[in-house]
């Protein structure tokens, strides 16, 4: 997921559209954008402001002017902006081509070609900085994608150990990507460019970083600025989500005991596994993400089963044959497989507030929940710390 963040933002820049509003003087500063771009001959161009009301990275656009380039690809936009704004120029008949601007009171000149991903910007330092940042993100993102594809294509030749080393390197590249984003948010001068940087961080993975970088901006209390209002609203909304999740969390609590039937109808009690670290895993044969994760879980079980780790698998199937077939096909080698065969009517799912799968809870040797909803990479790190490599 992490490597897709940039593309969520960049793709949304050309996918979204909006109605045209006036470019008349309602206060603010006067801007002029002059362009000479090969490939825009006689093209209809839209100038749009761009804001970020959504936590998923999808921008909102408001079209403020439209012009037609001359036969040589020259065009001029001029008007007034109430505050410094991130803007986009796009072609009416080719929204995949766009130019990103950061303007307020500048006279900006753009030259280049639609075939050149790096046009020349003159007259706006903020626009130069913005496009330098976006270019670096593209480069880093493509390096990650190319490296990932290379590892995937050679995994059979590399073997498990070398593939693991290469995946660690990929993770380091991803960490470097986000470190660059966070550093840019710290060091760039313009508020609007800071906002763009924060839009390339993920609320569900990097909220603490977002909150830290956003704190000085929110502290200004500048409710007249749309970017400050939107950022304040998003941070407050996600903090509320985090607070609600914490209130419903099982972390630090003794796991609710379960006593469910195995495939032969014999009950297996969750608390009977105390003395071991137990992954309470909710899954089903029909759950594609669960099945995709199973090989990784099997590998971890085989690695740590003799060191005090096991799995208590709760299936949300309603068909015994499908459940059994999935256990066999995925080679789920731990002994504790249970199900009420009632799908979402499972009392076990209700006891743990499970509304989607995969869902998991890691229990310590005393049956206390020490981690929730972790995937194999996180589980591997935790088990390595608890039980050694």
365 and 268 both lie in a single domain: yes
Q: How confident is the prediction along the chain (389 residues), in pLDDT tens digits per residue?
A: 333 434 445 444 434 433 333 344 456 799 999 999 999 999 999 999 999 999 888 899 999 999 999 999 999 999 999 999 999 999 998 878 999 999 999 999 999 999 988 999 999 999 999 999 999 999 999 999 999 898 888 877 777 778 778 888 888 999 999 999 999 999 999 999 999 999 999 998 899 999 999 999 999 999 899 999 999 999 999 999 989 888 889 999 999 999 999 999 999 999 999 999 999 999 999 999 999 999 999 999 999 999 999 999 999 999 999 999 999 999 999 999 999 999 999 999 999 999 999 999 999 999 999 999 999 989 999 999 999 87
Q: Is residue 253 part of a domain?
A: no
Q: Is residue 127 part of a domain?
A: no
Q: Which residues contact 72 (CB under 8 A, 6 or more apart)?
A: 36, 41
Report the alpha-carbon distance of residue 381 to residue 195 in Å, rounded: 33
CATH for 57: 2.60.40.10
Task: Work out whether strand 74-81 and strand 29-38 pair parallel, antiparallel, or are unpaired.
Answer: antiparallel
Domain boundary among 220, 247, 274: 247
Tokens, residue 48: 């749009």
C-alpha closest to that of 193 among 85, 119, 62: 85
11 and 112 both lie in a single domain: yes
Q: Is residue 106 part of a domain?
A: yes
The structure's pTM equals 0.69
152 and 184 both lie in a single domain: yes
Domain total for the chain? 3
CATH for 273: 3.40.30.10
Which residue has tokens 């020490």? 370
7 and 110 both lie in a single domain: yes
Domain boundary among 76, 93, 122: 122
Report the alpha-carbon distance of residue 348 to residue 270 in Å, rounded: 11
Measured from the Cβ of residue 260, the count of other Cβ atoms closer than 10 Å reads 19
Q: Is residue 69 part of a domain?
A: yes
280 and 238 both lie in a single domain: no
11 and 115 both lie in a single domain: yes
Domain boundary among 92, 122, 152: 122
160 and 114 both lie in a single domain: no
pLDDT of residue 13: 46
Q: Is residue 96 part of a domain?
A: yes
Q: Is residue 254 part of a domain?
A: no
Buried b (16+ CB within 10 A) or exposed e, 192-227: bbbbbbbbbbbbeebbebbeebbeebbeeeeeebbb
107 and 165 both lie in a single domain: no
282 and 308 both lie in a single domain: yes
The whole domain housing 25 covers 2-122
93 and 149 both lie in a single domain: no
Biggest CA pair distance of the chain = 80
Report the alpha-carbon distance of residue 327 to residue 250 in Å, rounded: 27
Tokens, residue 201: 């961080």
172 and 269 both lie in a single domain: no
pLDDT of residue 247: 85
Q: Is residue 172 part of a domain?
A: yes
140 and 239 both lie in a single domain: yes
Whole-number Cα distances in Å, 170 to 2, 135, 180, 267, 318: 11, 20, 15, 43, 39
Q: Is residue 50 part of a domain?
A: yes
Contact between 27 and 51 under an 8 Å Cβ cutoff? The reply is no
């Amino acid at each position: 997921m992490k490597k897709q963040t940039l593309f969520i933002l960049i793709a949304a820049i050309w996918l979204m559209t909006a109605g045209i509003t006036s470019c008349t003087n309602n206060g603010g500063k006067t801007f002029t954008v002059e362009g000479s771009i090969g490939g825009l001959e006689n093209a209809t161009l839209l100038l749009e402001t761009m804001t970020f009301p959504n936590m998923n990275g999808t921008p909102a656009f408001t079209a403020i002017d439209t012009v037609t380039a001359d036969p040589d690809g020259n065009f001029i936009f001029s008007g007034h902006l109430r505050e410094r704004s991130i803007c986009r120029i796009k072609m009416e008949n080719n929204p995949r081509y766009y130019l990103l601007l950061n303007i307020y009171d500048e006279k900006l000149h753009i030259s280049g070609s639609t075939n050149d991903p790096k046009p020349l910007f003159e007259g706006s330092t903020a626009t130069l900085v913005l496009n330098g940042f976006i270019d670096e993100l593209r480069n880093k993102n493509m390096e990650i994608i190319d490296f990932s594809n290379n590892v995937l294509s050679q995994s059979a030749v590399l073997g498990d150990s070398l593939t693991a080393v290469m995946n660690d390197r990929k993770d380091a590249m991803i960490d470097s990507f986000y470190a660059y984003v966070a550093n840019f948010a710290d060091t760039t001068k313009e508020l609007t460019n800071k906002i763009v940087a924060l839009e390339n961080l993920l609320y569900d993975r990097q909220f603490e970083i977002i909150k830290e970088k956003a704190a000085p901006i929110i502290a200004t209390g500048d409710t007249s600025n749309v970017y400050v209002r939107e950022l304040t609203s998003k941070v407050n909304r996600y903090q509320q989500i985090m607070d609600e999740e914490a209130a419903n969390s099982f972390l630090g609590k003794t796991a609710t005991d379960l006593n469910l039937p195995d495939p032969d109808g014999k009950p297996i009690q969750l608390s009977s596994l105390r003395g071991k670290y137990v992954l309470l895993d909710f899954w089903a044969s029909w759950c594609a993400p669960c099945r995709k994760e199973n090989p990784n879980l099997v590998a971890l079980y085989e690695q740590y089963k003799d060191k005090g780790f096991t799995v208590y698998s709760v299936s949300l199937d309603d068909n015994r044959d499908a459940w059994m077939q999935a256990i066999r096909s995925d080679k789920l080698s731990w002994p504790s497989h249970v199900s009420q065969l009632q799908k979402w009517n499972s009392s076990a799912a209700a006891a743990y507030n499970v509304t989607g799968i995969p869902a998991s809870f890691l229990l310590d040797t005393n049956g206390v929940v020490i981690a929730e909803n972790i995937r194999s990479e996180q589980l591997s790190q935790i088990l390595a710390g608890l039980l050694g490599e």
